[in-house]
Amino acid sequence: MSLTLSELLTTHWHSYAEWHQDRLCSAHYRAVRSVLGCRTAEFGGRLYQCGDCSKKHFAYHSCNHRSCPQCGALDQQIWTAKQEARLLPVDYFMVTFTIPSELRGLCVGYPDELYDLLLKQSSAALKDVIATKHQGAETGFTSVLHTWGRQLQHHPHVHCIVPAVALQTKTGQLVRPKKSKFLVHFRPLAQRFRNLMHAALRSQHPEIYQRLTPVQRGCFSYKKVWNVQLQHVGAGATALRYLARYVQRSGFTNKRLIGYDSSGRNVLLRWTPSGTTQSKVLTLSVFEFIRRWLLHVLPKGFSRIRHYGYMSSAAKKKRLRIRALLGQIGEPVAKLPEQQPHRCRVCDGKLQFLREIPRLTPSRGPPF
């Protein structure tokens, strides 16, 4: 029997919140309230009438919360189309920065500070190493923060989509890697990332740094090699579409929720191991599943997609200059997906808009 996150929260959120009040914050309550009200009268909607059979249809608004597995499909398609239009006609690399497992608990306790550092210092490390290798050349790339693994476990990392071309600002010439499938060496990039994270944490957040355990402090030792992966991905569209599956969406979709097991106390989650196409089923207790889902609720207003260097919005003139040097005039226009007209579920007739349905007055306090 299939199951949705909304149905699961409707049944179990009250108990979970009572037992784990000390672990919950306003962002968690906001996410739960959004999921429970998604596509219901809570957020209002529109009333339509079929022009053929005259049947009326209620179309309630989505919550558009990024942790809701029902929302984000159209936004995902729009984002993908816009980013594909920005791709340069060169090869691309995917660079992945992952912090050591000993430091992941800090991200849970201080998501605003640590996730921001993870994005900023990984980008700084990448820019520094490329500039050092190519005598001050400027690169550009898009970074996306992911916080989950395939089993919905906490696994914060940053993916960077990097074009294999840099701009020498002094001469105005383009610089490319000497080897088509090699961007930079892994080790200096990992070391620079580790050192920048250490320096930024000490200088910008000394109160957090003082709370580090000896094991956590050991992660910044020169002997500790941080995990940075570099992969040649061809034209870049494939890697971009891989990222897009998680950019505007939650860590899972309702299709992966199979339902409860025979005892009714556990949830069955479908997942696919890396490097395979054979899916498996993971059994989690209800409270453990809710806990894992809440791990990936980001602070309100936090931007997990960022553009750096000549791929930033402020550097459009520089990006057009690079395109011209590559023999491409102007930036291609994004082909946005067309919104499908509303159709009657009874006779497939065209629906006519009647009126807006106002949203309900939001309730105050946690959604117990």
**Could you tell me if residue 152 is left (phi over 0), alpha (psi between -120 and 50 degrees) or otherwise beta?**
left
Type of residue found at 269: L
CA distance linking residue 295 with residue 311, whole number of Å = 30
Residue closest to 107 by CA, chosen among 160, 159, 158, 154: 154
- pLDDT reading at 275 higher than 90: no
Question: In the prediction, which pLDDT does 362 show?
Answer: 59
- pLDDT reading at 153 higher than 80: yes
CA distance linking residue 61 with residue 34, whole number of Å = 11
The model's pTM: 0.91
The string of DSSP letters for 106-162 reads HHHH-HHHHHHHHHHHHHHHHHHHHHHHTTT-B-EEEEEEEEE-TTS-EEEEEEEEE
Mean pLDDT of 311-320: 92
Question: In the prediction, which pLDDT does 73 show?
Answer: 82
Percent of the residues in the chain that have a pLDDT greater than 90, as a whole number: 70
Task: Record the tokens describing residue 19, joined without a space.
Answer: 């037992």
CA distance linking residue 359 with residue 336, whole number of Å = 29
Measured in whole angstroms, the distance separating CA 132 from the mean position of its chain's CA atoms is: 30
Q: In b/e form, how buried is each residue of 54-72, taking b as 16+ CB within 10 angstroms?
A: eeebeebbbbebbbbbbbb
- pLDDT reading at 17 higher than 90: yes
The string of DSSP letters for 193-222 reads HHHHHHHHHHHH-HHHHTT--HHHHHTTST
CA distance linking residue 233 with residue 157, whole number of Å = 18
Instruction: Give 68 or 341, the one with higher predicted confidence.
Output: 68
How high is the mean pLDDT of the chain? 91
Measured in whole angstroms, the distance separating CA 324 from the mean position of its chain's CA atoms is: 32
Question: In the prediction, which pLDDT does 240 show?
Answer: 85
Residues 6 or more apart whose Cβ sits within 8 Å of residue 142: 83, 160, 161, 305, 306, 307, 308, 311
Q: How far apart, in Å, do the first and last CA atoms of the chain sit?
A: 26
| pLDDT, tens digit (0-9, with 9 covering 90-100), for 29-58 | 999 999 999 999 899 999 999 989 999 998
| pLDDT, tens digit (0-9, with 9 covering 90-100), for 132-152 | 999 899 999 999 999 999 999
User: Contact 308/158 with Cβ under 8 angstroms?
Assistant: no
CA distances in angstroms from 364 to 30, 302, 317, listed in the order given: 11, 23, 47
Mean pLDDT of 254-276: 91
pLDDT band at 268 (very low <50, low <70, confident <90, very high): very high
CA distance linking residue 225 with residue 221, whole number of Å = 9
Mean pLDDT of 154-172: 93
Q: Are strands 56-60 and 266-271 parallel, antiparallel or unpaired?
A: unpaired
Percent of the residues in the chain that have a pLDDT greater than 70, as a whole number: 97
- pLDDT reading at 83 higher than 80: yes
Question: In the prediction, which pLDDT does 72 show?
Answer: 82
Lowest mean pLDDT among 46-50, 220-224, 301-305, 338-342: 338-342
pLDDT band at 157 (very low <50, low <70, confident <90, very high): very high
